[in-house]
Amino acid sequence: MVDLMVNGTRMSIETDADKPLLWVLREDLALLGPKYGCGVAQCGACRVLIDGESTPSCVTPVGSVAGASVVTVEGLAQANGALSALQQAWLDEQVPQCGFCQPGFIIAATALLEVSPRPTDADIDEAITNICRCGTYPRIRRAIHRAATMLAER
Ligand code: FES
Ligand code: FES
């Protein structure tokens, strides 16, 4: 049994403590936003926030984060359904192509804006190492700048 807070809800999960968090989220909690890409902490498709830090869930044993707050892309919108600034900017800039990698990018960008509210392109490239096979990087940068502006004007 592992205790976690997932997207704001406390829960005790009957699971093997060695099971990767990604598979606990996808298989046990039916949260399909985090994706399986490489399985070795390289592509970023599985990223979630763990206590606010963007973390590859594919290599994170669930037992190692017992008691932590985990946020997946499903948990970024407000309770009333209002999208986060980044989610809205992603739509406004029409970022996704196939979409597979996008939850991981939005999670990584969310963590970046927490520590760097007005990042430069260089900051973005340095902080976000996720891989997008469709090559959406220019639109991702534009969406992050747009979200940063939206947040600054609130
Ligand atoms: S699946 Fe976790 S980083 Fe690629
Ligand atoms: S949008 Fe297709 S892999 Fe990124």
Fold entry, domain 85-153: DNA polymerase; domain 1 (1.10.150)
Report d(CA 87, CA 48) in Å as an integer. 15
Report d(CA 55, CA 16) in Å as an integer. 20
Q: Give the pocket of ligand 1 (CB within 6 Å).
A: 36-39, 41-46, 56, 58
**Domain segments of the chain: what residues?**
2-75, 85-153
This prediction has a pTM of 0.97
Angle between helices 102-115 and 85-92 (to 10 degrees): 130
Centre of ligand 2 to C-alpha 112, Å, is: 20
- With a 6 A CB cut-off, is 101 part of the ligand 2 pocket? yes
Residue whose Cα lies nearest atom 4 of ligand 2: it is: 132
Centre of ligand 2 to C-alpha 130, Å, is: 10
Centre of ligand 2 to C-alpha 149, Å, is: 25
Tell me, what amino acid is at 57? S
The domain over range 2-75 is classified in CATH as 3.40.50.970:
no
pLDDT computed for residue 154 by the predictor: 83
Per-residue pLDDT tens, the chain, 154 aa: give them: 999 999 999 999 999 999 999 999 999 999 999 999 999 999 999 999 999 999 999 999 999 999 999 999 999 999 899 999 999 999 999 999 999 999 999 999 999 999 999 999 999 999 999 999 999 999 999 999 999 999 999 8
Exposed / middle / buried, residue 42 (Cβ in 10 Å: 0-12, 13-18, 19+): middle
Enumerate residues 6+ apart whose C-beta is below 8 A from 101: 35, 37, 43, 44, 45, 130, 131, 132, 133, 134, 136
